[in-house]
Chain A
Amino acid sequence: MKPLAALFLREWRLSTRVGGGALMGALFFLIVVTVIPFGVGPDLKLLARIGPAILWIGALLATLLSLDRLFQADRDDGALDLLMMGETPLELVVVVKCLAHWAATGLPLVIAAPFLAVFMNLDPPAIGATVATLLVGTPALTFLGAIGAALTVSLRRGGLLSAILILPLTTPVLIFGVSATTAAVTEPTPFLAPFLILVALVLFSLVVGAIAAAQALRLSAN
């Protein structure tokens, strides 16, 4: 457990210090959510209806676009080779890196979400549901995005390509995240069923993301 904790601390420190870009994701999220009313108009009723979806899409884009440096910085300075040669399985390394990345960039999104939800004219229950689904669901986006980051690690400009590759895979997370949120607001539909499926998706993407990203990193190394 000790090397993993050390790795987590290292990743956390690297991404929160100057130049780490941890808060860029939250800033991007703020801007996306601010721009959408300019597109759809300031109708508060409409915004309240599509608000959870806007927050989810904003979080999705912010997560995916912040992932391009997840493995690339380590590859550039050689740390990735050391991590691969270490005794800790690469899959666990990937999981820990994702968790640290999520703590540094995903968690600020979740914390910013209730404030942005006020802009979207959401009711308190809807705000609660949005924050809950984002808190549970954004790690899934990070784990899936890690696959894209690992596949494009050797490319100089992999950021956009990685988003193209991963966005189709994130549809289930988006669907169940938004479904759970809207289910919490509209009366007859149950909240728990889509929410539990969302939780299942997170666990599933943890496994798939860790295995696939580790495999992609190994293949790109030799």
Chain B
Amino acid sequence: MPLIDLANPTRFLGFVGRLVPWLTAVTIVLFAVGLYGAFFLAPDDYQQGATVKIMFIHVPCAWLSMFVYATMAASSLGTLVWRHPLADVSMKAAAPIGAVFTFVCLATGSLWGKPMWGTWWVWDARLTSVLVLFIMYLGLIALWQTIEDPIRGAKAVAVLTLVGAINLPIIKFSVDWWNTLHQPAAVFRLGGPTIDISMLWPLLVTALAATCLFVTLQLLAMKNEIKRRRLRTLRLIEASRPHAVAGTPVVGAAS
């Protein structure tokens, strides 16, 4: 099947139906392999002990928080440049999923920070950037919720997503600057550049598993969104019909 055929939402629905079981299986297998490696094969960190196990979900979620935003930014281009309805759908489906993964990243980071740093939250450069990213996700969701017409809403969200994508590196840079000004000298570095291969491979596998998980969820959410739009179209058709048709069966429902 040529790729261009997927641009038709009906064919896309069929494609999703066939692909999702396979993707689910791949996700589960990858998570099983990655977490087996993380818990049974990877050694404890000599400084952090067993808490390093949190890394195997924290880092994949951090990766997803950025990957999902990149997906949304690419979809925004699809909306603004090619005006493709599937791009709108993809943007809308990704926002809540991205927000959830960003939240999990913050929460697991906090749970990792408490035993290691002694506090739940540090205004560390990385944590702060992720927090700003989380707020941006929530803002995008709020904008989706406010504009009723999905086509007009998609355009507004696309502009904001792209502006956010341009600004994110600058926010990251300025937070790093701010952090070096205010942070006391002894900064605990997460992970660090040297990571042993026995820890690296489970991390990469769980990151891949998380990516597969996101793709699965994204396809399912896109399917829902297409259905939601069809429902909206049908309701508009129903509302614009003369009463003659609605007369017969709806009487019972109206009473």
Contacts and interface: CB of A to CB of B under 8 A. Distances in A.
B181 interface: yes
Contacts of B135: 167-168
Nearest to A209: B163
B156 A147 contact: no
A171 B159 contact: no
Contact of A155 (B146, B164, B167): B146
Contacts of A204: 170
A201 B155 contact: no
Interface in A171-214: 171-172, 175-176, 179, 182, 189, 194, 197, 201, 204, 208, 212
Chain B contact residues: over half helix, strand or loop, or mixed? helix
A216 B171 contact: no
A171 B139 contact: no
B201 interface: no
Contacts of B163: 147, 169, 208, 212
A194 B181 CA distance: 11
Interface in B111-132: 132
Nearest to B157: A151
A153 B167 CA distance: 22
B152 A220 contact: yes
A27 interface: no
B175 interface: yes
16 contacts: A147-B159, A151-B159, A152-B146, A155-B146, A165-B160, A168-B139, A169-B171, A171-B132, A172-B167, A172-B173, A175-B178, A176-B177, A179-B177, A182-B181, A197-B174, A208-B163
B162 to A, nearest CB: 7
Nearest to A158: B146
Contact of A168 (B136, B162, B166, B178): B136
B50 interface: no
Residue from A164, A168, A179 having most chain B Cβ neighbours under 10 A: A168
Interface residues of B, number: 28
A90 to B, nearest CB: 13
Mostly, the A contact residues are helix
A134 to B, nearest CB: 17
B159 A154 contact: no
A155 B139 CA distance: 15
A220 B143 contact: no
Number of chain A interface residues as a range: 20 to 34
Contacts of B132: 168, 171
Interface of A: 147, 151-152, 154-155, 158, 161, 164-165, 167-169, 171-172, 175-176, 179, 182, 189, 194, 197, 201, 204, 208, 212, 215-216, 219-220
B83 to A, nearest CB: 10
Contacts of B170: 172, 201, 204
Given A175-B178, A189-B181, 15 more contacts: A151-B143, A151-B159, A151-B160, A155-B147, A158-B146, A161-B142, A164-B138, A165-B160, A171-B171, A172-B170, A176-B177, A179-B178, A182-B181, A208-B166, A215-B159
A115 B26 CA distance: 64
Given A147-B159, A151-B156, A212-B163, A175 B177 contact: yes
Contacts of B143: 151, 161, 165
A220 B155 CA distance: 8
A172 B136 CA distance: 14
B175 A169 contact: no
A169 B156 contact: no
A176 B146 contact: no
Given A179-B181, A212-B163, A172 B174 contact: yes
